[in-house]
Every structure is written in C-alpha cells, then in structure tokens.
A and B are shown apart, each in its own frame.
Chain A
Amino acid sequence: MDRKSILAELKKVLAPYTEDKGLLNSINEETDLIKDLKINSANLVDVIIDAESKYNIEIDMDSAEKMFRVGNIIDVINEKMKATS
C-alpha cells in the first residue's frame, strides 16, 4: 500500500474524532493531529485502536508516541504492515 492510499484511508480513521471535517480535506504528512485537526488528546488511543483494526496490525506504545503527525502515522502503519506480511 503506498503512502497516498494510506493517507486516503487515514482520513476515514480520523473523521470521527475531528470536529471540523473540512480540515480533513487539506491534511498532508505535516498535519499535526492535536494542533491542526484539534483532535482531543483523549481520543489518541481511539485513533490507534481504529488504525490497528483497519490495517490488521498491532501498534505498541513506543510506536504510538510518534503518532502525533500524519506522516509519522503513515510511517508506523507502513512499518507494522511490512512486519506482518
């Protein structure tokens, strides 16, 4: 799965936790979940669990702590998908 496809799917994972859905149209790899999308930090574990389910991967918390920016999330998903394939 290339980064563009992961990004497209990631928007669906982030949507339930993003108050202003319009912000999702302009996300890129530099987008910060809390600062830019205004996702409440209390929902970060939800984002991780939903990403685990969507990509059938397991994300340890050492990896999860890097998942504050979209590009980092794609890195982690890519890495975990390769590890399980």
Chain B
Amino acid sequence: MTSTGNDIVSLQKIDKERTAQYRFYSKILVPAERDLFDHAPLAIPFENYVWLLWSVKESAYKYFQRLESELLFSPLKFVVSEINIQQEKEDSTNTIFTGRVIFDNHTLYFLSDYNEVRIHTIVHHENNFDKIRSGITEIQSEKYADQSAAAKELLKQDLEKYFTGKILIEKSEAGYPEVFCDGKKMDMAVSLSHDGFWVGWVVVGLKPNS
C-alpha cells in the first residue's frame, strides 16, 4: 500500500522559552537527537531544531498510521538518525533539510522546507522526492475549520489539473484523507497539514487518467 505523510509547523506560534526547557524537548527528542544538533552544523536555533524534528516525526507517524490505523503517536519512538542541510538557491531565504527517520526497524527519508516562519516536511520510503507533488500556502485565517478546508481545496485544485472527473477528498474511518474521482476511490496517497496561517499537502502515486 502506498503511503505518505507531511506536517507543517508555524514557527511564529511556538513558545521559544518553553521549547528550550529540558522537560519540554526531552518529550520530543531522544538523547542521540540532542547530540545530533550539537555535532551537525545546521545553523538554526535549537528551538527551531526541536520543531523541525517534531515535523519529521509527525510526518512519519502519519505515514505509518495509514498502514496501521491503531498506531499512536509517541515522538520518542520516531528517531532522526541523520540530517543534512542544503541551501535551496543562492538568493533563497529557504533552507532544505534532508535525512533519515527510523521507526521500529523501518527507515523513511524526509525533506523539510524551512524558513524563519514555518517548516514543511514530507517523508517517503525512497530517498528520492522527484515524483512527489507537494504544496504549501499561507492563508488569511488561522481558524481550524478554515485551515482544514483550505488544505483540502488546494490539494483538490492541484489534482484537477490531472483528472477530468469530480474530485472529492474525504477522511477515512482511520482519519487519513482519501481521494475520490467521480465517486471512485483513487489509488494514491495524500496527506494534509495545517498550523497557524499555513496549510500544506502532498500526493504520492499520482497516475493521471487524462
């Protein structure tokens, strides 16, 4: 079964002081991940690193929860074992982080698009993100219902470029989104996310019929 996961963190909403406290970050990072920050020259503040890893872990959780619907999210069980940095473009303020996250002997690869205001992470079972479609948009409202609707609408608009039928995005009983075209469930995996004013989406396994 194809799976995917993505997550957004609005860095404008985080509590920097609280994040930097041991009793907070120790509920998200294992000691090896704390060491990784000290040894990898990532050039970002520690509190942003904590939320970068949170976004990786939550994305990986979404990936595995699609495969195992009863799975519960425990950040310490998803361990980032490698993280690399690359500047997106010379004139870009965005930075791309890539690396590996391990869960229960399974490895996923992540790609995080980072800037000072938000982090958007997607995970994949291969270390190649070329065939994955994803998007991130800032909207005017940070109300939960508006964000949720906007994430669905933006994904729908992207899919409508490839399908002529009526696209519908609905949550499965297990809580992850599924795509229907003219009432038929599509064989692809999608994931939605939102935080603050930011909404994001990812599609894996897109096979256009038109």
Q: A residues bordering B, Cβ < 8 Å?
A: 19-20, 35, 38, 40-42, 44-46, 48-49, 52, 61-62, 64-66, 68
Contacts and interface: CB of A to CB of B under 8 A. Distances in A.
B74 A62 contact: yes
6 contacts: A19-B144, A35-B175, A48-B27, A49-B18, A52-B23, A61-B76
Given A49-B23, A49-B24, A66 B9 contact: no
A64 B144 contact: no
B20 to A, nearest CB: 13
A65 B74 contact: yes
Given A19-B144, A49-B23, A42 B9 contact: yes
A62 B18 CA distance: 21
B75 A61 contact: yes
Interface residues of B, number: 20
B68 to A, nearest CB: 14
Given A19-B143, A19-B144, A46-B18, A41 B27 contact: no
Question: In terms of DSSP, what is the predominant structure of the interface of chain A?
Answer: helix
Contacts of B24: 45, 49
A38 B74 CA distance: 19
B73 interface: yes
A66 B195 contact: no
A44 B58 CA distance: 12
Nearest to B51: A42
B72 interface: yes
A49 B73 CA distance: 17
B195 A42 contact: yes
A59 B175 CA distance: 26
B82 to A, nearest CB: 22
Contacts of A49: 18, 23-24, 27
Closest 6 CB pairs of A and B: A65-B74, A38-B144, A65-B72, A61-B76, A45-B27, A19-B144
Given A35-B175, A44-B73, A45-B28, 9 more contacts: A38-B144, A40-B144, A49-B23, A49-B27, A61-B74, A61-B76, A64-B27, A65-B74, A66-B72
A25 B24 CA distance: 29
Contact of B58 (A41, A46, A48, A62): A41
Contacts of B15: 46
Interface string B6-20: 000100010100100
B110 interface: no
A45 B29 CA distance: 12
B76 A41 contact: no
Interface in B100-126: none
